[in-house]
Amino acid sequence: MTAALLSIDRLSGGFLGADGGIAPVLDAVSYDLMPGQLTAVVGETGSGKSLTALSVLGIQPPAFRRTGGRILFGGRDLLSLDAAAMRTIRGARISIVFQDARAAMNPVFTVGRQMADVFRLHHGGSARHAMDRAIEALGRVRIPEPERRARQYPHEFSGGMAQRAMIALAALICQPSLLILDEPTTGLDVTIQADIMTLIVELCRDQGLTACLITHDLGVVAETCDAVVVMHAGRVVETGSTEQIFTAPAEPYTRRLLAASQLGEPV
Ligand SMILES: Nc1ncnc2c1ncn2[C@@H]1O[C@H](COP(=O)(O)OP(=O)(O)O)[C@@H](O)[C@H]1O
Ligand SMILES: [Mg+2]
């Protein structure tokens, strides 16, 4: 048996209410990310997919309170690390791509500068070398004229181009062992969603990255992912290989989800 790269083990928690009580949101969420695999996390909005992913990086909203569970990464419980130890993991070992890349970038620095700064933070070297790596990374995510683009500011990028730059930053500049993508194509023009998804899958495969892809697009999941985690109402309903989940889902909720997306066996 191969060991999981990341193991979420019975993670529970909720939001602190005005009355001082905790309204539960995550209920003993457990799933494993196996090395080199692309694992999809699916389930309707509000099921706890993002909160679980943010908890891995220690960037959950301040009102969120964990009430139990562990997140094991390389044998260590991430939830027990202090802020300094967590900073050495975030970005360098585990990086994340969010939905709105332009909002995640700093508006006052050029895209190339931001990428170069992150490169130097993780790998050191000269500013010139870091900028060359940034330009190279922009080229690898198929941004035309990467040298010119690197000198532009985030607002000069379209949503799709910004998302490509974010993917370049998270996957190629940070060179993490684990990449989390939280609905990376949501909000983009449908015509470019498929291109970006293809790019993500190619990069993950080329770099041998372990990836966790949170998405609504079950068509993409069926075609590209190795394993699937189905979440509903703060719980993991079912996990399995992509083939298992799509051809022989065990749980009624999974069958309904597949039926709603018109994929998988009819219920
Ligand atoms: N900052 C917050 N304050 C209070 N409740 C929140 C906050 N963020 C998320 N929630 C609640 O936590 C639940 C899970 O949210 P989330 O993990 O974002 O779901 P998903 O990513 O699956 O759509 C939802 O019911 C949501 O309303
Ligand atoms: Mg979400």
Three-class DSSP labels, the chain: CCCCCEEEEEEEEEEECCCCCEEEEEEEEEEEECCCCEEEEECCCCCCHHHHHHHHHCCCCCCEEEEEEEEEECCEEHHHCCHHHHHHHECCCEEEECCCHHHHCCCCCCHHHHHHHHHHHHHCCCHHHHHHHHHHHHHHCCCCCHHHHHCCCHHHCCHHHHHHHHHHHHHHHCCCCEEEEECCCCCCCHHHHHHHHHHHHHHHHHHCCEEEEECCCHHHHHHHCCEEEEEECCEEEEEEEHHHHHHCCCCHHHHHHHHHCCCCCCC
For the cut 70, the answer to whether the pLDDT of residue 266 exceeds it is no
How does pLDDT run across 202-237, given as a tens digit for each residue?
999 999 999 999 998 999 999 999 999 999 999 999
Q: What band does 263 get if pLDDT is binned at 50, 70 and 90?
A: low
Residue bearing the CA closest to ligand 1, atom 16: 48
The model's pLDDT over 57-100, given as tens digits with 9 standing for 90+, comes to 999 999 999 999 999 998 899 999 999 999 999 999 999 999 88
Sorted by where each starts, the structural domains of the chain and their CATH numbers stand as 1-93+179-267 (3.40.50.300), 104-175 (no CATH)
Ligand 2 mean position, distance from CA 45 (Å): 6
Residue-level pLDDT at 173:
97
Backbone angles phi, psi at 87, to 5 degrees: -65, -25
Report pLDDT for 141. 96
Instruction: Decide if pLDDT at 144 tops 70.
Output: yes
Work out the mean pLDDT of the chain and round it to a whole number: 94
The CA 130 to ligand 2 mean position distance, Å, reads 32
- Prediction pTM value: 0.94
Which two three-digit tokens encode residue 86?
């967590």
Residues with Cβ within 8 Å of 224's Cβ and at least 6 positions away in sequence, in order, are 38, 197, 201
Question: Average pLDDT in the 45-55 region?
Answer: 96
Q: What is the predicted pLDDT for the residue at 264?
A: 54
pLDDT for 267: 46
Nearest listed ligand to the Cα of residue 65? 1
Does the C-beta of 215 come closer than 6 Å to ligand 1?
A: no
